[in-house]
């Protein structure tokens, strides 16, 4: 894929395919847990039970559109953009990272779920699916208000024990995630160029064309200079990585009332033993391992849909 025309053609095809999964979506904004923090949500409509989806760090709700679209004929599906991601408020991290502490992000999701339930007149979210840090946030909400969520699908969630600020800074430095994020290329001449560049990177190589098309189309914005840049700025994504262990998200998981399925990506970076230990503390939880990498919701969405179908059939 060398010529500009070839790149444009490939990009248009991916974007059109991705847009097909966004058909009929209503874009809404909901006040988060703090004044001035508005969160963007994508609402596929419908009259069925409420399903809420939450993306991984650095991505946005639209990357889960193929999953949402497949469910939208039977359920009311809503995908949420975390603060600093997608079309949600781009809150500056600040020196203490408090704006991106995961307890704060979980509070945002909690408030959004309550507002969504009020708007549809339902007592609880039928199923909440979260990927990576999104899975951690969903579990945190299920812990905070056990009656709020009936079923949880946590896709390779990030599970950290609480640390001091100093220890967390050391962990983040050792992992290299924050530093790598700050060095990552974030500006491109066009969305076609961005799509071509990302497709060439190992991280995105196995994304479906719909997921990558939506990441570029919905997760990148035009600049005043005429080029394009990531909506989730590098500093904000780095702050999420750095703020991961500043909150004790799982201190009371014994209180979770939801049925929980944790999907472990066996080719990912997390050890199953951590998930097994977490599941043992949750009254109704189990762990399944998939022979997939960490980003499997954007690579093989059908595997996520199969897990959702299994959970919803266990009634």
* pLDDT of 150: 98
Tell me whether residue 224 is exposed, middle or buried, using C-beta atoms within 10 angstroms of its C-beta: 0 to 12, 13 to 18, 19 or more: exposed
Strand partners, 139: none
* pLDDT of 243: 74
* pLDDT of 47: 86
* pLDDT of 46: 83
CB 85 within 8 A of CB 108: no
* pLDDT of 233: 86
Instruction: Provide the pairing of β-strand 187-188 with 76-80.
Output: unpaired
Instruction: Provide the pairing of β-strand 26-31 with 38-43.
Output: antiparallel
CATH number at residue 270: 3.40.50.1820
Range of the domain at 185: 4-313
* pLDDT of 163: 47
Q: Of 232, 186, 244, 247, which Cα lies nearest the Cα of 83?
A: 232
Ranges of residues in the chain with a pLDDT under 70 are: 1-2, 161-183, 245-247, 314-315
Instruction: State the residue for tokens 């799509």.
Output: 195
Q: Count the domains in the chain.
A: 1
Residues 6+ apart with CB under 8 A from 164: none
pTM: 0.93
């Amino acid at each position: 894929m060398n010529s500009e025309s070839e790149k444009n053609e490939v990009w248009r095809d991916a974007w059109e395919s991705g847009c097909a999964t966004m058909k009929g979506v209503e874009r809404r904004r909901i006040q988060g847990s703090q004044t001035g923090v508005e969160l963007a949500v994508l609402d596929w409509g419908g009259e069925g039970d409420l399903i809420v989806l939450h993306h991984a760090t650095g991505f946005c709700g639209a990357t889960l559109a193929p999953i949402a679209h497949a469910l939208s004929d039977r359920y009311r599906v809503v995908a949420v953009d975390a603060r600093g991601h997608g079309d949600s408020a781009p809150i500056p991290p600040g020196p203490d990272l408090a704006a991106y502490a995961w307890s704060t992000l979980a509070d945002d999701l909690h408030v959004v779920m309550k507002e969504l339930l009020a708007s549809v007149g339902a007592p609880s979210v039928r199923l909440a699916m979260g990927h990576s840090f999104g899975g951690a946030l969903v579990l945190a909400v299920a812990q905070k208000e056990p009656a709020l969520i009936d079923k949880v699908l946590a896709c390779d969630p990030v599970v950290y024990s609480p640390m001091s600020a100093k220890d967390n800074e050391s962990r983040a430095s050792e992992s290299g995630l924050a530093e790598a994020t700050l060095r990552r290329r974030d500006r491109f001449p066009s969305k076609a160029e961005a799509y071509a560049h990302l497709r060439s990177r190992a991280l995105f190589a196995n994304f479906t064309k719909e997921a990558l098309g939506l990441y570029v189309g919905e997760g990148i914005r035009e600049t005043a200079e005429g080029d394009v840049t990531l909506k989730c700025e590098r500093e904000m994504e780095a702050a999420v990585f750095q703020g991961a262990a500043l909150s004790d998200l799982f201190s009371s998981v014994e209180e979770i009332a939801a049925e929980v399925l944790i999907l472990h990506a066996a080719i990912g970076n997390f050890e199953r033993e951590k998930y097994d230990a977490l599941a043992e503390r949750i009254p109704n939880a189990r762990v399944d391992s998939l022979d997939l990498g960490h980003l499997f919701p954007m690579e093989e969405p059908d595997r996520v849909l199969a897990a959702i179908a299994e959970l919803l059939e266990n009634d």
